[in-house]
Structure 1
Amino acid sequence: MLKLPPAVTREVTVERDIPITVEDGVTLLADHWAPAGSAGIPLEQLPTVVVRTAYGPGGPLGWMYGRAIAERGMHVLMVRSRGTFGSGGTFLAMRHEREDGLATLRWLADQTWAKGGVVLAGSSYFGYTQWAVAAEAPVQVKAMVPHITSSRLALTLLRPGRFELDTLTNWVWNTETQERPRALLRSMLGLDRKRVAAAMNTLPLTGVDKALLGHESPFFQETLRYDQNDPYWKDEDHSGAVGDVTVPVSSITGWYDIFLTDQLRDFQALAAAGRNPRLTVGPWWHADPMGMGAAIEQVVDWGAALARGEQPADRAPVRLFVMGVGQWRDFDQWPPAGYPQQRWHLRSGGALERGVNPASPPSTFTYDPNDPTPSVGGPKLDGNGPGPKDNRPLEKRADVLTFTSPVLESDLEVVGQVTAQVWLRADRPSNDLFVRLCDVDERGKSINVCDDLVTVRPDGTTEVTVELSPTAYVFRRGHRLRVQVSAGAFPRFARNLGGDEPVATATTVHVTHLEILHDGDHPSAILLPAKA
């Protein structure tokens, strides 16, 4: 359930399908929501929230970013990206958002009803459209509230050598089919999940979109062809300009969001440039309704105050939900100071301890791409099963190693970047390494806290560093820490087939035998920013 600030009116007006012609002659369509009355303030002086969306003006997002904000005393201009829901041109993901966004703001400046300050708002792709114009935003833009997003959006999913299959496949399906009859209902009921799951089993990966849609998706093929470092994306990557943004920014994200790490980096870039940004991180996953409510609250409280020329209510720059104890806490910075690094060593027999490893044989397991280690919970675009989940069924598999600490004698508070250093050997030229930190309660239930996966080209005994997603979590007294080590998390990440073929076109499957070393010369460990 959403927790929104109270409405000031239930009487709102909406003008639909307003044409906005941009520089190259394409006409975008927009809806204008407004409160019917404004308690003595001229309507044209009310702040305006600009939302630019590739997902259309209807559904829950349309209600939340349209009517719900208008009921709280602000104009809303909801603009549909080109090529979507009646806007002219062709939708090319992440393309044109800078030029179309700046043209929209120029158009807005000429409207007689929009003489108040402007707030940029929106979630996920909507949030990316904010970053696309942020560094060049005109003076009437007084605030922006990016939620579950990144200044480079999909590029965060395109690390060299690996492919975030689940997110990219689901996004392509959603955007390709969203204008079909009953598409929203089918999505909410999960009626197409079997079709998407079947497509994700396709090899090579270049055939996934054709198996799913019956034709190629240009965007899907681009993501396979060009990783995040390729100059191909230079005009769509706005991360280098984040420090130049002078508009006040309040970022909202969740500990289980797919863009968490990038959004924290955007915040740090603003802070390093002296921009005094705000950051809120809750216990949310992508599209979690509670996170949506927090974003709307920042728009109508903090953003609206700045748009009116007022000083917002004071609060700390960083507000984090500390999981495990269910508490909101305020900090001066990210990452917070006062959390020195603790090394917890992987030990033989599945132990996890603070001391230096004695001589011990390696732990071994086998990864078979024909029976890939499944992904359970964690960051997901699809609303089916994201976030913290019971990992006990996963941990029973022979291809998942677990290393578990003794029972904690006192609470252990972990806040910041969690890192794993793992020494391994493998008998194939390529493998993946997935590391996950879990909280094991008194009943033995194992809940995922944070994780990540890297692709490895092993060269004999190889040291591998895995930066798990950041977290804020208290492991309670009586609980235990657990580290999972495996070689995959499918379909969240595409299978590593173990050969020398390129990821996008690989079809030959190889079974990989792996050894995890944990002796005095190879002290595999997880590094926790922690205090008791």
Structure 2
Amino acid sequence: MKYIRIIIMCIAIITTLLFGYQTDSVGMPMRDGIKLGTDIYRPFWNNPILKAPALIQRTPYERGWDDTYITLICDIMGYALVVQNLRGYGDSEGEPMVFWTDGWGDLQDGYDAVEWVAGRNWCNGKIGMIGASAHGMTQYYAAGALPPHLVCCAPMVAAPNLYRDCAFTGGEFRKALVETWLQGVDTPWLIDSVCNYPNYCNRWSIVDLSQKYNVAHYPMFHIEGWYDMYTDGVLDAFSELQKRFHNQKLFIGPWGHGDAWGTREQGDLVYPPNAEMDELSFINMLLDWYDYWIKDGGGPVPPPKVKFYLMGDCNTQDTTLWNRWVEADTWPLPQVVYKRYYLRENNLLDTIPPTISKIDTFIYNPANPCTTYGGREFIGLTHGYGPIDQRPIENRSDVLIFSTPPLSSPLTVIGKLKFILYASSDRYDTDWAIRVTDVYPDGRSILVTDNILMARHRHGFDREDSLIPNVCDTFNIDLWSTAQVFNTGHRLRVIISSSNYPRFEKNPNTGAPFQRDDPNFVVATQKVYRTPVYPSHLLLPVFPTQVNIKELARQGLGEEGLFTQSISRSPAFRLKLNGTKNVEISVYNSLGRREWYMKRSFTLGEHPIRLPSLPSGVYFVQARIGEKEKVQKIVVIK
């Protein structure tokens, strides 16, 4: 019987090679009559009798896809692929609206696209969504609109909350990102459309998935990078949806956006080879996700539910305790304990609170803002992205620096960092910008995370509260999240200023209504308090040293079996066993000829098995582990 299954699958593959996928281009109607340019690719066998599920990508960019990937998705994996330009982009009609028509407002283009495709006579009514960055954002916003035929999503490096994660992080305008991106997609006039809404309001709530956490029940595979622009929005979406529906999955690598995705080289650091992932690896993860929910009917989320890269000292080759992948069951990690690091005398950052009252003063002049070096961006900056050395700004007179002594043992930080700042300004408004760095023994001060808070938004982003000049106030600054080990001999450093330009707009200090590039500004005198009553401090999510990080990495390994990527250039297996077993593995090509065979006994644990080089094609792996047998398909693409 097992050989009959293999023969039938081989016949299907041969037929695919002879015919190829079907194509069509249409103007898909939205609820207001506007038509959106859409390309449709369907499996060669797909028709009103042999229906197929569909994957939708919605984009402001060109719609072209590589022919190899279309063949893979359509003819090998059996999905229709629908690629659509957003309203006002490409050959789509209507006016572009910066995603505002893609959520759950009066116009709901994402919802309409899902339901239109589900209603085609060639579709079986099961829809997934696919894509990264802008394509991922349209997934989050379509999910918030609750289309009935959407089965699952897999948003990569995308903003679930357009206001907080993208346009006005910390209440301040995300200048480099918003201006450069909107100019790059030839809609520069939309910059002012964004800036006309500097406070959180109904305009933003229709593209804020947090407003729909209680009802957006779809399984989602959230894929993100520690140096990406949207990290904490993705983490929040995963944790909140997972608490409610238990059908989410999270994957985070040590990467930034765009060209920095999947590579070892990040800013001023080079991670070990285990930090690299190629495009096929991501496609493989995605297609496994879609198959599980759309074809197999879903169920408990396949382990690991959470997989992230624990970063650390890139000058060492040891990947035992850092610069390694960690698997867990949830996020945030329940073992994490918050620890306070206080601002102290002599520029010290210490776990002991201050015992004497001191105030540090600096002058912030918007005409000479503190320059951005690195951070979570990928466009619009002059001095690099991600983990960049901060020494060029550390000698400025408008910057305060506080550092720990060299660490006597590694410090593991996993989760959201926060800074509780007690400060005052002699103006009605200003900004507070915080950077956290890992100081190497050679003096490099490598950025780990940073963020900003516009003072008028200290009580909420939907309201403005002017400062009382020269009166100390409390500012809770969200520094977003990381997974970082500060190695022995390194120092943890906090850098405080009132600007981070051009990553964020300069605050003119006047308290006037927001205006980008405001020509009217005043100089501000800033005071940072470090007293027993007002002890400014960093809140650090510390992973306790008594918990073995290697044990944590084992928690999500799941059941025993033979595991491999469905699609790869050099196929390899991971064999996981709960005890000593006899293992027999055969690999057949699409004609049914056996290309590789192995039979031997393996002991308890995980064992890598690498196959010899195979030419491009479809293969079938027959594995017998003890008394259990399984056949699976793999695709090799050279």
CA-CA distance at 1:67 after TM superposition: 6.4
1:300 aligns with 2:287: yes
1:461 and 2:472 aligned: yes
Q: Equivalent residue for 2:132?
A: 123
1:184 maps to what in 2? Answer: none
Percent identity among equivalent residues? 27
Q: 1:309 to 1:176 in 2, by over 3 A?
A: same
> Residue 325 of structure 2: which of 319, 323, 328 is its match?
328
Equivalent residue letter for 1:126: H
| Preserved CA contact (<8 Å) 1:158 1:223 | no
Output the amino acid matched with 1:304.
D
- Report the secondary structure of 1:299's partner residue: helix
Deviations 1:324-368 (A, max 9, x none): 121111222221111111111111221111112132532232222
Q: How does 1:258-269 map to 2 (within 5 A)?
A: 258-269=229-240
The code of the aligned residue for 2:500 comes to: A
Counterpart Cα distance in 1 of 2:359 and 2:76: 61
Higher RCO (CA < 8 A, seq sep 6+): 1
Gaps of 5+ in 1: 1-7, 178-212
User: Superposed, which structure 2 residues align to 1:205-354 within 5 Å?
Assistant: 217=189, 219-287=190-258, 288-290=260-262, 293=279, 295-309=282-296, 314-324=302-312, 325-354=322-351
The answer for the alignment partner of 1:504 in structure 2 is 515
User: Post-superposition shift, 1:51?
Assistant: 0.6
The equivalent residue for 2:172 is: 162
Give 1:30 shift: 1.4
Gap change, CA 1:161 and 1:112, over 3 Å in 2? closer
CA–CA separation in structure 2 for the residues paired with 1:175 and 1:310:
38
Determine if the alignment matches structure 1 residue 175 to structure 2 residue 174. no
Question: Is the alpha carbon distance of 1:160 and 1:414 closer, same or farther for their aligned partners in structure 2, counting shifts above 3 Å?
Answer: closer
SS in 1 for 2:358: coil
Q: Which amino acid aligns with 1:418?
A: L
Partner amino acid, structure 2, of 1:93: V
2:63 aligned partner: 57
AA aligned opposite 1:82: R
User: Of residues 35, 38, 56 in structure 2, which corresponds to 1:30?
Assistant: 38
- Cα distance in 2 for residues equivalent to 1:42 and 1:310: 22
> In structure 2, the residue corresponding to 1:301 is in which secondary structure?
helix
RMSD value, Cα: 3.0
SS at match of 2:178: helix
Whole-Å separation in 2 of the counterparts to 1:105 and 1:422: 46
**What SS is found at the alignment partner of 2:424?**
strand
2: CA distance, partners of 1:412 / 1:140: 47
Q: 1:295 to 1:528 in 2, by over 3 A?
A: same
The alpha-carbon deviation at position 222 of structure 1 amounts to 2.8
User: How far off is 1:462 after superposition?
Assistant: 2.2
Work out the CA distance in 1 between the residues paired with 2:388 and 2:169. 25
Structure 1 residues 498 and 105: alpha-carbon distance in aligned structure 2, compared to 1, 3 A threshold? closer
Tell me, what secondary structure is at the counterpart of 2:115? helix
Shift of 1:242: 2.8
Q: What amino acid does structure 2 have at the position aligned with 1:494?
A: E
Partners of 1:275 and 1:238 lie apart in 2 by 17
* Other-structure match for 1:204: none
After TM superposition, give the deviation of residue 458 of structure 1 in Å. Answer: 5.2
- Flag the 1:469–1:22 CA change in 2: closer, same or farther, 3 A: same
Asked if 1:526 is matched to 2:521, the reply is: no
Matched position secondary structure for 1:284: coil
Q: CA deviation at 1:45?
A: 5.2
Q: Is the 8 A contact 2:436 2:447 kept in 1?
A: yes
* Conservation of the 8 A alpha-carbon contact between 2:115 and 2:149: no
Does the 8 A contact of 1:160 with 1:228 survive in 2? no
Q: SS of the residue aligned with 2:480?
A: coil
Q: Give distance in 1, aligned partners of 2:489 and 2:191.
A: 46
SS of the counterpart of 1:243?
Answer: coil
Task: Find the residue that maps to 2:303 and give its secondary structure.
Answer: coil
Deviation at 1:405, TM superposition (A): 0.7
Name the structure 1 match of 2:572: none
Tell me which residue corresponds to 1:201. Answer: none
Aligned to 1:356: 353
> Contact 1:14–1:33 at 8 Å: present in 2 too?
yes
Question: What letter is aligned with 1:429?
Answer: Y
Aligned to 1:84: 89
- What corresponds to 2:99 in structure 1? 94
- SS of alignment partner, residue 508 of structure 1: coil
* Residue 228 (structure 1) shift: 4.7
Find the counterpart in structure 2 of residue 19 from structure 1. Answer: 27
Match of 1:482 among 469, 493, 502: 493
Q: What is the TM-score of this pair, normalised by structure 1?
A: 0.82
Give the TM-score taking structure 2 as reference length. Answer: 0.69
Partners in 2 of 1:86 and 1:292 — Cα distance?
Answer: 31
Deviation string for 1:357-406 (max 9, x for gaps)?
Answer: 13253223222211110111111141762211111112232222211111
Task: Say if 1:52 and 1:81, in contact at 8 Å, map to a contact too.
Answer: yes
Consecutive unaligned residues of structure 2, counting only runs of 5 or more, are 1-12, 263-276, 313-321, 456-466, 546-638
Aligned twin of 1:151: 160
Larger Rg: 2
**Residue 380 and residue 70 in structure 1: after superposition, are their counterparts in 2 closer, same or farther (change >3 A)?**
farther
The aligned length equals 482
The structure in which a higher percent of residues are strand is: 2
Following superposition, the deviation at residue 522 of structure 1 comes to: 2.3
